[in-house]
Amino acid sequence: MSTTSKTLTFNKSTSRANPTPSPMKRLTVPRIRQRKNGEPLVMLTAYTVRMAQLLDPHCDMLLVGDSLGQVIYGLPHTVAVTMEMMAAHGAAVVRGSYHAAVVVDMPFGSYEASPQQAFENASRLLKETGAAAVKMEGGRVLAPTIEFLTQRGIPVMGHVGLTPQAVNILGGYGVRGKSAEEAKSIVDDAIAVSEAGAFSLVIEGVLEPIAIEITQKVACPTIGIGASAQCDGQVLVTEDMLGLFDRVPRFVKKFGDMAQQTEEAVKQYADQVRNRTFPSADQLYQPE
C-alpha cells in the first residue's frame, strides 16, 4: 500500500524553519526497492528546507541533485559542484522532510578514483546530512564501487544514459543511444549497476526503447527522466517543472508558471513601495 496519499499537517505557529509534522515514518530503501513493477515512484529534486517541506507529502524520494550547481549557484555545469555544497543542501532537505527518502548526489571527483575514496565521501555525506542514500553516475566501470559501498551499508542509486558529470566527454546534453552500439552499451551499463547492488537506477536522456528494455531486464526500480513512462518511476528538476526557467530540456513538462507569478508579485511589491502604500497599517506597530 502506498503512503503517498498521507499528508502532513504543519503547525503554523512554529517558526518557518521548523514546522511540526504529523507523525509519519520515512520511506526506507528496502521499501523503495520493493516498488519494482508496482505503483510508480515519484521523485523530485530539492535543495532547501522550504522546498523539501512542500514536496515531501507528495514524493517517495527527494533527490538533492548536483543540478544545484546550475539551479542554485548559476554554474555552467555540474562538474564544479563540491562536497561542501552537497553536504549543506542535503542536510537542509533532510531537516525539511519527514516522509520521503532523501538521496544525495555524489559530486564529480568524489568517487571515481577508487572504491575506498567513494566510501569515505559517501559515508561523510550520510553522516553530515542524515540522508538515506547516495547517487553516482556511471555504468560498468562503476559496478565494483557500487558493490563495495552496498556491502558496507551504503545504499546507492545508479545513473546511466545521459550522465551530466561526463559532459566534457559526451560533448553536450544530447539524447543517448542513437547507434545500436551505444544503445547496447547503455543497457549493459544498467544491468551491471543493478547486479552490483544499486537499489534503484536513474535512466536519463535515452531513446525510449532503451529505457523500456532496461526496465524489463534489471531487478531494481528504474527512475526515468527523458526516458519512458514505462519506467518504475519519474524524476524532474523541480524548478524546471514549476516553470521557473524559460529554457528547459525537451523532456520537461511545465506543471506551473512560477516565473510569471513571481515577477507579478515582485512588481506589485515594488509599485507599492514606490507609491508608499506598503507598509500599511496592517504591517506596522503603533504605540498603545
Model-wide pTM > 0.85: yes
pLDDT for res 168: 63
Determine, yes or no, domain membership for 159: yes
Over residues 17-23, the mean pLDDT reads: 53
Grouping H, G, I as helix, E, B as strand and the rest as coil, residue 172 is: coil
Residue 12 and residue 53 in contact, taking contact as beta carbons nearer than 8 Å: no
The percentage of the chain sitting over the pLDDT mark of 70, rounded to a whole number, equals: 89
Among 112, 181, 195, 204, the one annotated catalytic: 204
Binding-site residues from annotation for Mg(2+): 66, 105, 137
For residue 121, what are the domain limits?
Answer: 29-257
Determine, yes or no, domain membership for 33: yes
pLDDT for res 24: 61
Q: Is a pLDDT exceeding 50 seen at residue 192? A: yes
Active-site residue 239, yes or no?
A: no
Determine, yes or no, domain membership for 206: yes
Q: Is a pLDDT exceeding 60 seen at residue 92? A: yes
Over residues 89-102, the mean pLDDT reads: 96
Q: Is a pLDDT exceeding 70 seen at residue 9? A: no
Task: Render pLDDT for 60-69 as a digit per residue (tens, 0 to 9).
Answer: 999 999 999 9
Q: What is d(CA 242, CA 237) in angstroms, rounded to the nearest whole number? A: 9
The percentage of the chain sitting over the pLDDT mark of 90, rounded to a whole number, equals: 83
Which of 210, 200, 282 shows the shortest CA–CA distance to 27? 200
Q: How many domains does the chain have?
A: 1
Determine, yes or no, domain membership for 6: no
Confidence of residue 163 (pLDDT cuts 50, 70, 90): confident
Determine, yes or no, domain membership for 7: no
Binding-site residues from annotation for 3-methyl-2-oxobutanoate: 66-67, 105, 135
Task: Render pLDDT for 39-86 as a digit per residue (tens, 0 to 9).
Answer: 999 999 999 999 999 999 999 999 999 999 999 999 999 999 999 999
DSSP summary character for residue 276 = T
Over residues 167-181, the mean pLDDT reads: 78
Determine, yes or no, domain membership for 271: no
* Cβ-Cβ contacts under 8 Å for 251 (sequence gap 6 or more): 205, 225, 226, 227
Task: Render pLDDT for 228-252 as a digit per residue (tens, 0 to 9).
Answer: 999 999 999 999 999 999 889 888 9
Confidence of residue 165 (pLDDT cuts 50, 70, 90): confident
The CA-atom distances, in angstroms, between 266 and each of 55, 138, 228, 261 are 24, 42, 38, 9
Determine, yes or no, domain membership for 141: yes
- For 260, the grid coordinates are 510569471
Determine, yes or no, domain membership for 5: no
* Cβ-Cβ contacts under 8 Å for 77 (sequence gap 6 or more): 69, 70, 164, 167
Supply the CATH number for residue 213's domain. 3.20.20.60
Q: What is d(CA 246, CA 257) in angstroms, rounded to the nearest whole number? A: 10
